[in-house]
Amino acid sequence: MPRETKQTKVNSIKGNVKAKVNHTRLAALRLQRYLQGQQKLHAQEFMQAVEDMDMAKMQRLYSELVNIIDLAKATLGIMGQPVPQAAEELAPTYVGSSWQFKDWFEILMGSNTEEFFPVSGVEHDSHLFLQRRCEVRLAMKSVTGVEADLSSMMTALLEMDRYGHRYLAHIHSHPFENMGKEGTLPSQIDLEYQQSLEIGQYPSIGIIFSRDRYFRFFSINKLFNIKIYGKGVEQIEDKVFRLVEPK
């Protein structure tokens, strides 16, 4: 029987390791496909909960979606693919000041109905600076909805372009109290509007304020980061903040 050389042992070990790696990647791929299905199912259920205004179900599904997405990121790493964390680090960062958000909150809460305004700003080195509140006429507003006048909105967009600004955010209020951070969850109409902006290649994200001083940043598929300078804002969770007294 031929004697096993050192190189033969090394090759054997390499083969075993490669087989185990391939098996692990195959398992990760199967898990990834399962998670994609679960993510789609949860997203559909979340949209239905939004339509039914079922806050408890919305919060539960939102938390489950976050966990599914985190697990999906981990499996991408096992499969040898770049994980979305790297993409998030390269994603644009929206920058604003705490004082600015306080001013916008006070404007939005000046009435008992929903209010809306677009925000423009400039882009520099993957940083998008939320700078100017643009005034637009409202075609309709109530306790449960708001709609900008189309011609007024078009005029605002033309003015943004004239000054070299971009349409960076659409901000509106949910004028309810005692709902905590759940009061800032986007409605189906909010999500549909955001989706239309992403399809149209606008760099805009959504921001919702509640009377409880919470505010949430959201998108559909767009990866982004948030940076708020100054005092008077505390972060509650990813993309959710609250206005507080400066210390």
Q: Quick one: 19 and 59 in the same domain?
A: yes
Domain final residue pick, 44, 62, 83: 83
Which structural domain, as residue segments, surrounds residue 178? 91-243
Domain final residue pick, 41, 59, 83: 83
User: Is residue 128, in this structure, part of any structural domain at all?
Assistant: yes
pLDDT tens digit sequence for 208-222: 999 999 999 999 988
Q: Quick one: 117 and 41 in the same domain?
A: no
Total structural domains within the chain: 2
User: Is residue 109, in this structure, part of any structural domain at all?
Assistant: yes
Model's pTM, two decimal places?
0.66
- Tokens for 182, please give them: 């759940």
Per-residue DSSP letter, 232: S
Instruction: Find out whether 149 and 137 touch, Cβ atoms under 8 Å.
Output: yes
pLDDT tens digit sequence for 50-98: 566 666 676 676 667 666 666 655 555 544 554 444 455 678 999 999 9
Domain final residue pick, 83, 111, 142: 83
Per-residue DSSP letter, 114: -
